[in-house]
Amino acid sequence: MIVAKRKPFDEIRQLLKGYKKVLNVGCGTCVAVCLAGGEKEVSVLNAELDMAGKLDNTPIEIAGITIERQCDREYLEALDSKVGNYEALLSMACGAGIQFLAERYPQIPVLPAVDTTFIGVNQAVGWYEERCRSCSSCVLGHTGGICPVTMCAKGLYNGPCGGTNKGSCEIDTNQPCAWYMIYERLKGQGRLDCILEISPPNDWQNQIPRTVIQPGYSKPEAAAK
Amino acid sequence: MKSGSNLEKILKAGHFAFTGELGPPRGTGAEEVRHKASFLKGNVDAVNITDNQTAVVRMSSWAASLIVLQEGLEPNYQMVCRDRNRLAMQSDILGAYTLGIRNMLCLSGDHQKFGDHPQAKGVFDIDSMQLIGMVKKMRDEGKFLGGTEILNPPQIFIGAAANPFADPFEWRVHRLAKKIASGVDFVQTQCIYNMEKFRAFIKQANDMGLTEKVYILAGVTPMKSVGMAKYMKSKVPGMDVPDDIIKRLQGVDKTKVADEGIKIACEQIEEFKEMKGVAGVHLMAIEWEHKVPEIAERAKVLPRPVID
């Protein structure tokens, strides 16, 4: 899932400065699961904003709504009849969701309440770790299911570098060396031949905005224009 | 001859090579470089010019390499993958070669987190293995990585590093083999203190026939103090300093510790001269360039051979 974390409260207040009537839009998918921007977080943030506004005499009328997914038109539609009543929208969705929201209502300022952080896993409730940089050219088949692009601090394709320190990365003893893990896992599987071959320079595909059209589908005429 | 560099000639002629290291200044001005170079000239076959080592900004490696070249000393131009993408690397290689640089050392680079700009975006467009292959392609095929032809391709003697001590030890020799397959001509190792482990590494390399395909220069850094030895042991990732070394330094009079450090280095060099598969020594006398003449003398590697 996409993991996000709430922005510092003061930063959110700074973004909202001058707006008196705001709708906080949560997202019920990834950011809800990682406890950053779902229904609960929307109401907590709204309560804090309401209280802070009252305390320093800059009252703000803030409403909340959480839709299933902000990255999906089907769910955004539910907001069409509501957004006209607000001066600004605050979004607790990921960077993709908030942009889709802003795109749908271009006349209304849309402000982020979270920092989108990574594509990661749920280690335990409230504990998430990054696993994928969405590079568009997955090498996991050769690296024992451990991503060197994400998990190696230098993103090396032919590691490990000389900084491996008793199995940890040179940047931090608490950070395991990705290539040490790759080696250990492949060795356990009897597949070290996978990394004997030189991995050639990567054909970076994440340097421009990417579009995916699945086989059998096409862009609708209107969107293509 | 691949490049015709002095280092290549020395190694090809079968001489025991001796290279040094020089860190460019944290500022402008050629004087510091010239001053350091004065201690190395005539005492080493080539000198590595570090590239923003430990991720700290310094005068660019190619610029300091050119100053060293003007001083009549052959540079080994270091290039790390941390600070440049493939376009910048290739253009720097063209410029460096054009202005007389003939040796290059291809490195991944210390992570930017260690340096004076920990907020920097690390580039790592390609890694050290791929950089070796790119320089080889430029030299042997006369083509850029992208495939187009190079006008007057650069003839570079290609170097790389190897750390026989970092985990996993069993994999290190295979990584060396990969660097050879990528096209490396010579390899300089991480500072060696654990001789037993290094002997095992070289034996593996000999058994795999690797030392016939690449020149291996054993890395030596004399310990200046007990504090330095302890720091290297505990704080420098991938460094293997056995307790015996620390004990030996602690065992001598405080005024004699640096001398003992040089003595240990010279004993190592004596062993490397006789070690099958070792083609020379790379002396990294960090901020101790003025000691190089004495170390070279005591290690009995002088005079350096001159080959036309």
CATH code at position B123: 3.20.20.220
Q: A170 vs B238: CB contact, 8 Å cut-off?
A: yes
Q: Is B3 helix (H, G, I), strand (E, B) or coil?
A: coil
Q: B127 vs A154: CB contact, 8 Å cut-off?
A: yes
Report the gap between the CA of A174 and the closest CA in chain B (Å): 13
Percent of chain B with pLDDT over 70: 100
Q: Is residue B304 part of a domain?
A: no
Nearest neighbour of A154 by CB, restricted to B86, B124, B162: B124
Residues of A with CB below 8 A from B190's CB?
Answer: 162
Nearest neighbour of B238 by CB, restricted to A164, A199, A200: A164
Residue-wise pLDDT tens digits, B215-233: 999 999 999 999 999 999 9
- Per-residue b or e along B38-56, where b marks 16 or more CB atoms closer than 10 Å to that residue's CB: ebbbebbbbbbbbbbbebe
β pairing state of A172-176 and A168-169 = antiparallel
User: What's the whole-number mean pLDDT along residues B182-197?
Assistant: 98
Interface test mutation site (partner B, options A137, A151, A161, A195, max chain B beta carbons within 10 A): A161
Q: What is the pLDDT of residue A195?
A: 97
* Torsion from C-alpha of A169, A171, A175, A178, nearest 10 degrees: -40
* Contact residues, chain B to chain A, C-beta under 8 Å: 81-82, 86, 108-111, 113-114, 122, 124-130, 133-134, 145, 161-163, 166-168, 171, 174-175, 177-178, 181-182, 190, 237-238
Closest among B156, B169, B32 to B99, alpha carbons compared: B156
Nearest neighbour of A201 by CB, restricted to B86, B163, B168: B86
Interface test mutation site (partner B, options A137, A154, A169, max chain B beta carbons within 10 A): A154
Q: Is residue B307 part of a domain?
A: no
Residues of A with CB below 8 A from B237's CB?
Answer: 162-165, 170
Contact A72, A104 (CB under 8 A): no
Residue-wise pLDDT tens digits, A97-136: 999 999 999 999 999 999 999 999 999 999 999 999 999 9
Total domains present in chain B: 1
Instruction: Say yes or no to pLDDT of A225 above 80.
Output: no
Tell me: ipTM over 0.90. yes
Q: Is residue B305 part of a domain?
A: no
Q: A154 vs B171: CB contact, 8 Å cut-off?
A: no
Q: Is residue B45 part of a domain?
A: yes
Residues of B with CB below 8 A from A198's CB?
Answer: 129-130, 133, 178, 181-182
CA distances from A45 to A79, A113, A158 (A): 20, 9, 45
Residues of B with CB below 8 A from A204's CB?
Answer: 125
Instruction: Say yes or no to pLDDT of B207 above 90.
Output: yes
Report the gap between the CA of B232 and the closest CA in chain A (Å): 12
Q: A153 vs B113: CB contact, 8 Å cut-off?
A: yes
For residue A178, which amino acid is it? A
What are the start-end ranges of the H helices in A77-155? 95-104, 148-151
Name the residue range of residue B67's domain.
Answer: 6-298
Q: Is residue B308 part of a domain?
A: no
Ramachandran area for residue B214 (φ above 0: left; ψ -120 to 50: alpha; else beta): beta
- Contact with chain B for residue A188, Cβ under 8 A: no
Contact B217, B209 (CB under 8 A): no
Instruction: Calculate the average pLDDT of chain A.
Output: 96
Q: Is residue B303 part of a domain?
A: no
Q: Which residue has the tokens 């001269």?
A: B273
Q: Is residue B220 part of a domain?
A: yes
Q: What is the pLDDT of residue A144?
A: 98
Domains within chain A, CATH numbers bracketed: 2-119 (3.40.50.2300), 135-195 (no CATH)
Residue-wise pLDDT tens digits, B128-175: 999 999 999 999 999 999 999 999 999 999 999 999 999 999 999 999
CA distances from B210 to B119, B184, B194, B206, B278 (A): 39, 11, 21, 6, 11
